[in-house]
Structure 1
Amino acid sequence: MLTLFLLTIFAIITGVIFAFKKLVRVHFLLMLSILFMGSVVVIKVYEQRFNLSFVPNALQVSSISYNEGEAWGFGPGGNEVGIRVYPLSEEIANQITEGGIEYFNSLPANRNKGVRREREVYGSWNETPIKEEKYWRQREGGSLGIYNYLCRYGFCIDVDEEIVKQSNAIINSPGNYYAYGRVGLIVVSPSEKLVIYMFSG
């Protein structure tokens, strides 16, 4: 895969050098503009697929309404913190309301892994309110807040106040469902028609 990527980059650079020598300046600049715009589109499509890949396909999520995150370093020793909010369709929300926790216990595995590979495999699903666990920073009384999860390792981000308020209500109210993955936490609220994915690690 890396070899293919490097060969592609080499081919593009070679093509640009050849075009620079052979094409009229206007045509060369037009070609560069097309290459640049094409690259931007490809990156945006990849980014959208990547962000959707943290939600099980069975929830049929197709867009993101809020996305905030930050990374400090990469690889071992690096840290990433973030939250994504996805709209949930009324049809799926109704199925969850009718099925309750059994809906999640019988979620099918992702069928089409080539198009949208699931990046998280979630453990057992539970009903909210979320009980304080090892994944949450200790709090001084009161209910859990999303910052107790996001900032547990000392790295933190600023989240929109309305998202904080809504997310805190969801994790502390009955009728919603959550599960931990290898990296993050997913919370599904059929009443608010939202899926929240948080990660800190």
Structure 2
Amino acid sequence: MNYLILALTLIIPLLIIAGIVYLYKKLSRRTFILLALTLAGGPYLAYKLYERQFMLEAVPDALGVTSIVYQNEESWGFGPGGNESGIRLYPLPDATAQLIKKRGMDFFKDMPANQDQQSRDWRGSYENWAATPIASPESWAVNNESGRMDIDDYICTYGYCLTIKPSVAVEANAIINSPGSYYAYGRIGLIVVSPEKKLVLYLYNG
């Protein structure tokens, strides 16, 4: 068995090299380069698609969100001892924004559960929706300087902070401190839905 493994270890790379040489001779230079780029970029593209879907799953499907307009996330370490924090902004479709303006809190009370929730684990599941301004919980106090809730204080709760784009921070802080939006805490993170700004904010720390 050891000889077989050794033989395969030597033969497989040679076969791959032979295949590359064969294609290089048979295909035009341009076609060969395009093929090589496609094969090399395939795994990266697949990962980016998975990453995008993972991020979208933090938002309940009933909101109709399909894209991300801003994100800033960092990880420190991996596994149970690791820490991470982040912020994402998703555009809220106009139809959903108008429906929320019309129905208010009833929209969130009647919001159907995600059909694929089991495969998503905790992502996209929220309870106890409330209207903004956000009330100060024990772990997130009012900022001493501004006298208002500040997203930086939430993200930095455990000492793992981000440098958020100033315009994003200003808009996010205005949303969480003003009436007209709705928020809820999930197992991980906080989601805020602003029908006026047509935005969904997702913040997390840990």
TM-score range, shorter chain: 0.7 to 0.9
SS in 2 for 1:125: strand
CA RMSD after TM alignment: 2.4
Q: Which residue, 46, 50, 57 being the options, matches 2:50?
A: 46
| Pairwise CA distance, 1:16 | 6.3
Aligned to 1:6: none
Structure 1 counterpart of 2:202, one-letter code: Y
**Cα 1:72–1:143 shift into 2, 3 Å:** same
Task: Verify: 1:82 aligned to 2:79, yes or no.
Answer: no
Instruction: Kindly state the Cα deviation for residue 72 of structure 1 after the two structures are TM-superposed.
Output: 0.6
Aligned to 1:94: 98
Cross-structure match for 1:167: 172
Structure 2 gap segments, 5+ residues each: 1-10, 26-31
CA distance in 2, matches of 1:187, 1:19: 51
My pick for the range that moved more, 108-117 or 171-180, is 108-117
The letter of the residue matching 1:183 is I
Structure 2 residue aligned with 1:3: none
Offset, 1:78: 1.1
Question: Matched residues in 2 for 1:15 and 1:123: separation?
Answer: 54
**Alpha-carbon distance change, 33 to 129 in structure 1, aligned in 2, over 3 angstroms:** same
Question: In the alignment, which of 153, 157, 165 is matched to residue 148 of structure 1?
Answer: 153
Conserved in 1, the CA contact under 8 Å of 2:134 and 2:177? Answer: yes
Structure 1 residues 17 and 88, CA, compared in 2 at 3 Å: closer, same or farther? farther
**One-letter amino acid of the counterpart of residue 36, structure 1:** A
Structure 1 residues 15-50: Cα deviation after superposition (integer angstroms, max 9, x where no partner): 765321344176397454322111122111111101
Cα deviation, residue 158, structure 1: 0.3
Distance change in 2, residues 1:167/1:126 (3 Å): same
TM-score (structure 1 length as normaliser): 0.84
For structure 1, which segment, 57-66 or 22-31, has the greater mean C-alpha deviation from structure 2 after superposition?
22-31
Determine whether 1:191 maps to 2:188.
no
SS in 2 for 1:195: strand
Q: Structure 2: how far apart are the matches of 1:120 and 1:74?
A: 22
Offset of residue 116 of structure 1: 7.2
Report the number of matched residues.
188
**Aligned residue identity for 2:16:** A
Q: Distance in 1 between matches of 2:141 and 2:79?
A: 23
| Partner-residue secondary structure (3-state), 2:55 | helix
Indicate if the aligned counterparts of 2:184 and 2:190 stay in contact, CA closer than 8 A. Answer: yes
- Which is higher, the Rg of structure 1 or of structure 2? 2
Q: Which amino acid aligns with 2:123?
A: R
Same amino acid, percent of matched pairs: 43
Deviates more, 1:42-51 or 1:29-38: 29-38
Gaps of 5+ in 1: 1-13
Query: 1:80 is aligned with what amino acid?
Result: E
Determine the structure 2 residue equivalent to 1:73. Answer: 77
